[in-house]
Structure 1
Amino acid sequence: MKRLGLILSILLLFVLAACTSEQDAVSETEASNNETSETASKTQEETSQTSSDIPEEVQKPIKIAAIMQASLGTFSSQYVKGVEDQVEKFGGSVQVYNADNDLSKMATHLDTAINQDVDAILIDHGRADALEAGVKKAVGQGIPVVVFDSDINVPGVTVIDQDDYSLAWDTLKTLAQDLNGEGNIVYVWVGGFAPMERRNAIYEAFQERYPGIKEIAKFGTASANTALDTQTQMETILKQYPNKGDIDAVFAPWDEFAKGATRAIEQAGRDEIKVYGIDMSDEDLQMMQKENSPWLSSAATDPAEVGRVQVRFAYQKIAEEDTPEIFSLDPHLVKQSDLPEETISMDELGEYVEGWGSSDAATSPWMEKLVEEADAK
């Protein structure tokens, strides 16, 4: 009996020891897990703090060169304003070069910017056959390049556009619906610009899709006075087709074209002819809002926002952050029927067109702090 009691006592000691060891193991595991959790939390916090710190590469005043194929009309002026405003907010400086629609002059401006050792280059329009060599040279020297509305395709270069295919289709679809798929239209267009070529591709598809809509006239030139030249040319077309019903609508895939066509129609008293455009500016808005205006709609992006996004991509590149090779801004359809009676500006358009001018593209956490520090200086 004593032997049995001794055996039971020994077994009890083993059980207690095992339980104690298991509890110690659990405690050690919990402590280890807690330590791991605290370490992960601390690492995440440090990463968050680091992500909002201003990168060393952009802590100095950044020098930007903005090279434009042409500065024509109010769209271009508002685009430039967007570029200048964003660079100024970041505490940098920008030099704008206008090539006056001369591609060889544009290439020369690009070489000048490279030789001046700027921190980044923005390109507005232009063509690859004239600029690709210069862009490759800039990239080879470590100068970031961001291109807007061009056919340039160089590795490491971000190309942004307004999604010209959607712009053209949104406008043309609205035109077709308003005409119930039948009617005579005038097409104002000029080649030689990448966005115009893309918009024309959609126009050609539109002609296939809506065979009941006939093009009876086509013209267009890009000049220092595009709107005035368009007005003169449209006046000639109206004389060739003097009767109501001869022309139902005008498709003008550039706001300078739309302005000229609208003025010619108004002066001729041919308010039965409607205008459908692409692009938008303060002046365009005022013309659309005018009583009995023939300008019914335009598909557009905010030109100032285009400029701001292009600058932000440039700063991200300078900071050695990843940026996309291609980026398209979302277009919006601005319809006369959606606008208020009182005259508004582009800054107020977002109240009537959802999403207008509110792109958060190409933003980094540190940019807000960069703006704050620039304001404090």
Structure 2
Amino acid sequence: MKKWAKAILLTSVLTLVACTNEQDAAPTQKQTSTKQEQKATVSTNTEIPDKVQKPLKIALIMQMSIGTFSSQYIEGVKKQVEAFGGTVQVYNSDNDLAKMATNLDTAINAKVDGILIDHGRSEALKNGVEKALAANIPVVAFDNDLRLPGVTVIDQDDYSLAWKSLKTLAEDLNGTGEIAVLWVGGFAPMERRSTMIDAFYKRYPNIKEVARFGTASNNTALDTQTQVEALLKKYPKKGDLDAIFATWDEFAKGATKALEQAGRTDIKVYGIDLSNEDLQLIQKENSPWAATAATNPAEVGRIQTRFLYQKVAGEKTPDVYSLEPYLVKKDQLPSEVVTMDGLEKYIPGWGTSQAAYSPWMSKLEKEQK
């Protein structure tokens, strides 16, 4: 990480820790940058650029595809590419970085028109991405630590995601209690979320962490359920454990099911990420899942795709872009079932974004109908 990036991160963390006013603790520098970056994507060209008039072949290289968040993200990519008249080949690497690097090489050798990357690590992908750029294949990454000239990296603003959920947990506990953290290393967004967990304990010193664990597998939710069931045996009495902070919705799903089966209504779950399946769990009567901070995974896929098309068209795109996350609390939701598509009725600001949407894209979409 460059020195200036470290300085910005340190400043943001210290601001969060030092402020007693929670509004002041929000990462305002991050939000300001996001607005500036969004302005940088505005185009006044209404004519479809020559390079995107043909159907484009897009490759989506994924570190793994687990759970409904990933499925909705993939669906967002596919629908946006199809709306532009293109096709998508999805490469699932089964959480194997070496396989992910091989998949990237395969896509480059297939001479695709653009590459989308989902997660992964720079040390495994840097050479392949440089090869793609040398072949004039544009690259846009999501939740990745790549920092290469010409590559746009988007994220969900993981610092804000973690803080929104943790802050809600602290307020519900009145600043005092024992919690468990579900977390796993090896992923760029998880490392950023861990930074905010460290800041959280400095801001709320009377909240103590009694356990931290988590694994990413082909059945993360079920594995987490088993792990939380074991945790509950260590803390069988009310007051022994007050809440669980889950840094991934697959963790939150497993924890929620374990608490439900054990009848532990005294322990609440605070998560990150959201899907239709998650919403059903949160909306259940007496559900322990109290709140989650999230962006719309389908919208992540759509925005990432639009940035890629802007690159193919020769338009300027930012080096980094953060989507605005939202806090979704159980008590904000109706008794009837609500899906991601209808969430904007209950969560102010939730919904589709015009980020990375150039005027010519509307015309391109109309020509495909």
The question of a shared fold, defined as TM-score above 0.5 by the shorter chain, is answered with: yes
Could you tell me how far apart the structure 2 residues matched to 1:155 and 1:365 are? Answer: 26
Q: CA deviation at 1:354?
A: 1.6
Q: 1:305 — aligned with what?
A: 299
Which of 348, 352, 355 does residue 342 from structure 2 map onto?
A: 348
Query: Is the aligned partner of 1:250 residue 2:215?
Result: no
Does 2:309 align with 1:315?
Answer: yes
Match of residue 190, structure 2, among 196, 220, 231:
196
Q: 1:142 aligns with which of 122, 125, 136?
A: 136
Q: Secondary structure at the match of 2:153?
A: strand
Please name the residue that 1:52 is paired with. Answer: 46
| C-alpha separation in 2, matches of 1:295 and 1:190 | 20
Equivalent residue number for residue 270 of structure 1: 264
- The partner residue of 2:332 within 338, 344, 347 is 338
Cα distance, 1:117 vs. partner?
Answer: 0.5
The reply on whether 1:291 has 2:278 as its aligned counterpart is no
1:113 aligned to 96, 103, 107, which one?
107
| Number of residues of Structure 1 aligned to a counterpart in Structure 2 | 327
Question: Residue 359 of structure 1: CA displacement?
Answer: 1.2
Structure 2 residue identity aligned to 1:265: L
Identity of aligned residues (%): 68
The aligned runs of 1:145-224 (5 Å cut-off) are: 145-224=139-218
Which letter does structure 1 place at the counterpart of 2:209? E
RMSD after superposition:
1.0
Aligned amino acid, residue 164 of structure 2:
D
Q: Distance in 1 between the 2:213 and 2:143 partners?
A: 22
1:92 paired with 2:54, answer no
Unaligned runs of 5+ in 2: 1-42
2:231 corresponds to: 237
Structure 1 residue 350, shift from structure 2 partner: 1.1
Query: Given residue 214 of structure 1, which amino acid in structure 2 is its aligned partner?
Result: K
How far apart are the structure 2 equivalents of 1:322 and 1:217? 46
Partners of 2:271 and 2:184 lie apart in 1 by 14
* Cα separation, partners in 2 of 1:180 and 1:131, compared to 1, 3 Å: same
Give the C-alpha shift of residue 50 in structure 1.
8.0
Alpha carbons of 1:50 and 1:127: their partners in 2 closer, same or farther (altered >3 Å)? closer
Q: TM-score, normalised on structure 2?
A: 0.88
Task: Measure, in 1, the Cα distance between the counterparts of 2:299 and 2:45.
Answer: 24
Task: Give the partner amino acid of 1:129.
Answer: E
Q: 1:8 — aligned with what?
A: none
Shift of 1:218: 1.1
Deviation at 1:357, TM superposition (A): 2.5
What is the rounded CA distance, in whole Å, between the counterparts of 1:221 and 1:51 in structure 2?
Answer: 47
- Runs of 4+ residues deviating >4 angstroms: none
Residue-by-residue CA offset, 1:111-166 (whole Å, 9 max, x unaligned):
00001110000000000000001001101111000000000111000000000000
Q: Which SS does the other structure have where 1:221 is aligned?
A: coil
Which residue identity does 1:315 align to in structure 2?
Y
User: Does 2:353 match 1:373?
Assistant: no
Residue of structure 1 equivalent to 2:25: none
- AA matched with 1:116: A
Larger % of helix: which?
1
Q: Which runs of 5+ in 1 are unaligned?
A: 1-48
Counterpart of 1:130 in 2: which secondary structure?
helix
* Matching residue of 1:63: 57
Q: Distance in 1 between matches of 2:155 and 2:212?
A: 26
- TM-score (normalised: structure 1): 0.86
2:355 is aligned with 1:357: no
* SS of equivalent to 2:368: helix
Match of 2:30 in 1: none
Distance 1:194 1:355 in 2: 26
Asked whether the 8 Å contact 2:44–2:358 carries over to 1, the reply is: no
- Give CA deviations for 1:305-363 in whole Å, capped at 9, x if unaligned: 00000000000000000100000000000011110110111111111112213211001
Q: 1:22 corresponds to which residue?
A: none
User: Larger relative contact order (C-alpha < 8 A, sep ≥ 6)?
Assistant: 2
Alignment match, 2:253: 259
User: Are 2:37 and 1:77 aligned?
Assistant: no
Greater CA radius of gyration, 1 or 2? 1
